[in-house]
Chains A and B, each alone.
Chain A
Amino acid sequence: EVHLVESGGGLVQPGGSLRLSCAASGFTFSNYWMTWVRQAPGKGLEWVANIRHDGSEKYYVDSVKGRFTISRDNAKNSLYLQMNSLRAEDTAIYYCGRARGMEVWGKGTTVTVPS
């Protein structure tokens, strides 16, 4: 069965950093694009970033460009999101998803940046 498990969320002060991880299992991780999507409290879904299966292409929403970095380790079946210079507006549940079409989602990890 396909599983995605996010971790690494927490409370961080404005300007701080966090590294989110997503552990994948049940499929050949290295064959798939992977995606991060976030959801602010009480709000809708926002695509954040995704990465090609070999890491050669990466895309970001404008609001995180220059601050967030998506990466992956195919040997460890893991996806990462390095988040720097965090702002209050980055407060959200962060979900990882398989493929650009988000065909499978994890349960998410919560990031809180107080204002």
Chain B
Amino acid sequence: DVVMTQSPLSLPVTLGQPASISCRSSQSLVHSNGNTYLNWFQQRPGQSPRRLIFEVSKRDSGVPDRFSGSGSGTDFTLKISRVEAEDIGVYYCMQGTHWPPWTFGQGTKVEIK
């Protein structure tokens, strides 16, 4: 199984400042078809998760452009250019290249400093 490792697990942030979350996979997530199936999800307190990013860097509809995804192979990053209060919550990466199983990272809790 592919192990997804996020860091940090807790990220205190200052409103208006940038934030970055790392996600590493135990093997390359490049599929034989050339695509890389790495998604990012946001879970606000008390809510169900919401997908933000798919295939490393493609933003889902309605996702603010302050969120961006990047990376390749085994190293991926979610960046928030300027953190807003509504961005507080837990962020998860998930791989969908080597399945089953589909696997998530442990989650990174973003909170106000």
Contacts and interface: CB of A to CB of B under 8 A. Distances in A.
Contact of A102 (B51, B99, B105, B106): B51
A95 B39 contact: no
A23 to B, nearest CB: 15
A88 interface: no
A32 interface: no
B92 interface: yes
Interface in B24-68: 37, 39, 41, 43, 48-51, 54, 60
Contacts of A26: none
A47 B50 contact: no
Contact of B99 (A59, A104, A105): A59
A103 B102 contact: no
Interface string A71-90: 00000000000000000000
Given A59-B99, A59-B100, A102 B107 contact: no
B49 A101 contact: no
Contacts of A45: 41, 43, 49, 92, 94, 104, 107
Nearest to B47: A107
B112 to A, nearest CB: 20
B96 interface: yes
B96 A100 contact: yes
B101 A47 contact: yes
Given A101-B51, A102-B51, A44 B106 contact: yes
Interface string B69-113: 000000000000000000000101010100111111111000000
A95 B48 CA distance: 8
Contacts of B54: 101, 103
- The 9 A-B pairs of least Cβ separation, nearest first, read A59-B100, A47-B102, A44-B107, A45-B104, A105-B48, A107-B48, A61-B101, A103-B51, A44-B106
Interface of B: 37, 39, 41, 43, 48-51, 54, 60, 90, 92, 94, 96, 99-107
